Amino acid sequence: MAKFRRHLHSCFAALLIGFANLLPVSAAEVDLELVLAMDGSGSISEPEYILQIEGTAAAFADPAIQQAILSGPTGRIAVSVLIWADAALPKFESGWYVIDSVASANHFAAVVLNFHQHSGRRFGKGGGGTGIGEGIRYALEMMRNNKHSGLRQVIDVSGDGVETDPWFKNAVELPLARTMAKAQKATVNGLAILTRDFPRLDQYFREQVISGPGAFVVVADGFEDFGRAIREKLWREISQQVARGGDNEVLSQMAALHPQRQLKDD
């Protein structure tokens, strides 16, 4: 009888463990879930692509940006890089990283800096048309399927052109993508890279791309200006959450970085 009880207890314990494994895992709360959705379409040359990568890496290595990240209500954000192109072509993502310290911010900066080696850009992949809507759809899916629970969800869309017609019928285009973002309560912000072909791209981004509460557009005057623009954009996104946390010292330090620009709404 004692042997049977031990066997019964063992079976019951195994059943409990199995049941526990079926339960949903609690999501880790972060101040912000951020997808950096960068243009990798055919209009982007390799030097221009690398300027986006290097500018983003430098922004996350910036001590002021790092301090702003750590000063939110939970003191951490979850971030991922997404390279999108034509809707018919593969997308490349870095996976999700939690930034909750200076060390983790610097680590993510290093991940971004080396991302071009793993994106396939140097191997002829990417390119084609400009599938902005599909990029947003994919980013929304990334946020739905990660293990984080963000107080806010933000998609950063950076690019140098307008959306082009997809190569196949089932691609999600911008009008539907914006509706999907609103349904998920995600904000879509824009970084418009002005070029000779699209000198008023910022207006297009304001009217056709961004959506959600507090959505805005930051302008880069060409790819050489991307590093400054992404730094400003990250500051504006992060400072919205810092303001909720009430860290006036960090806000003052960040305001000093952009004394003429940081409080302007588009």
For 36, phi and psi rounded to 5 degrees? -90, 95
Q: Is residue 174 part of a domain?
A: yes
Q: Which residue has the tokens 């072909």?
A: 197
For 245, phi and psi rounded to 5 degrees? -80, -15
**pTM, rounded to two decimals:** 0.80
Quickly state the pLDDT bin for 68 (edges 50, 70, 90). Answer: very high
Burial class (CB in 10 A: 0-12, 13-18, 19+), 92: buried
Q: Is residue 154 part of a domain?
A: yes
Q: Which two tokens stand for residue 134?
A: 């599909």
Quickly state the pLDDT bin for 154 (edges 50, 70, 90). Answer: very high
Tally of structural domains, the chain = 1
Asked whether residue 151 carries a pLDDT value surpassing 50, the answer given is yes
* Residue 209: DSSP 8-state: I
Q: Is residue 16 part of a domain?
A: no
- pLDDT value for 247: 43
Q: Is residue 93 part of a domain?
A: yes
Q: Is residue 9 part of a domain?
A: no
Domain of residue 174 covers 36-257
Asked whether residue 71 carries a pLDDT value surpassing 70, the answer given is yes
Q: Is residue 3 part of a domain?
A: no
Residue 238 sits in a domain of what CATH number?
3.40.50.410
- pLDDT value for 120: 56
Rounded CA separation 208/125 (Å): 27
Q: Is residue 110 part of a domain?
A: yes
Rounded CA separation 226/223 (Å): 5
Mean pLDDT in residue range 77-87:
93
Q: What residue spans of 92-131 are helical by DSSP H?
A: 102-113
Rounded CA separation 23/25 (Å): 6
Contact 159, 199 (CB under 8 A): no
Q: Is residue 54 part of a domain?
A: yes
pLDDT averaged over every residue in the chain: 82
